[in-house]
Amino acid sequence: MFTSTYRIQMREDGPGFLDVADLGDYLSWLGISHVYLSPSFRARKGSTHGYDVVDYVISEALGGMEGYQKMTKSLQERGIGVIQDVVPNHMAVSTENWRLMDVLKNGRGSQWSSTFDWWGDKMTLPILEDELDKVKHLISIDQERRELVYRDWRLPLCDDVNTVDETLEKCYSLTWWIKGPSYRRFFYVNCLIGVNVEKDEVFQDQVRNLPRVEGVRIDHIDGLLDPFNYVEKMKRIFPLVLVEKILTFGEELKIPAHGTTGYDFLNYVNHLLIDEENEGEVEKVYEEFTGRHDDLETMIRESKRKVIREYMRNEFSHVAGLASRSLGRDVSEEIYSFTECLPVYRVYGEIPCDPTGVIHELKERDHGSTANSNRYSPEPSQRE
């Protein structure tokens, strides 16, 4: 029976799987029904959290599959199950990510090209410390290892290139980290690249080596193109499927998971710590400190605008470009306005607001336009 969890953050320097196994008696004494493990797939070397996955195999640094199995056996003997944190939305942008390195080397011809959510004929990596022309002298070619070298980065060369200029023209582009990439990111984190887990071959690649434990916690479910279908697939494999989901007050969970990891519950708990009678005093201190006299709705709108137009400019410019090409005119501002007016973190096909009418126009145009413009919010019915 699922009654309580104890989260354990795995790290290369400990704890590992065998350390968790040794905690079994203590966890049983606490009355824990399930250990909630941080991501256990191979992560970038030195990772402190495990969400920067580089390969879909159980991490050797944490104890490998053998250690994992010993851990689950030890816990099960004490009546304790495992909830495994999984990361379907993204992988690390790292030379340790061999799938990504193959895409840099072979471009759209790589068998792993469709694994990642990127656009254009060649990928743009935002790893430079300044504009290209200011740091190009720091970039070189290691002919013996067939690699482009920049600081600590060693990137593969595609065929028939021998110079820096040829590599940046034919293989991939490098740009200043502030300018952003040609791929979907986890929020605006350059070092995490979006993954197309809605493709069945990518899904199978992710779950093939995932231990069949009692349940999973799905990280960043709303980053997925089709969270509904993904959850349904995971429910066929695991008895318990929980999602990391941001819900606003009064919003119901539409994704068919067994529950959330509790952000919505914490919203209500936090209100117990707030004395509304002191609202005036808090506002006075804020206004004196900032020199601003904003109402909450204005602040929310301005914050959305800043995130959309500055921090996530690359992603929204791409989506706006798809919509503009579909309609034959520039509708960038309309797309931005639609996003800024959304009252919730993620919509699922419904249109809660459409200040310019462009979203309805896209939906009415044809299914292809809808699929493109709703890259991050497909209809719930669009499932396999």
> Could you tell me the pLDDT band of residue 271, with boundaries at 50, 70 and 90?
confident
Q: Which of 99-113, 275-289, 312-326 tops mean pLDDT? A: 99-113
User: Tokens for 152?
Assistant: 């600590």
pLDDT at 376 exceeding the cut of 60: no
Largest CA distance in the chain: 71
Reported as a single tens digit per residue, the pLDDT across 346-374 is 998 889 999 999 999 998 886 544 444 44
pLDDT of residue 366: 62
Name the one residue in this structure whose structure tokens are 């504009």.
131
Please, what is the Cα angle at 154 between 152 and 156, to 5 degrees? 165
> Could you tell me the pLDDT band of residue 180, with boundaries at 50, 70 and 90?
confident
Query: Residue 58 in contact with residue 211, Cβ under 8 Å?
Result: yes
Residue 78: phi and psi, rounded to 5, are -105, 10
Arithmetic mean of pLDDT over the chain? 92
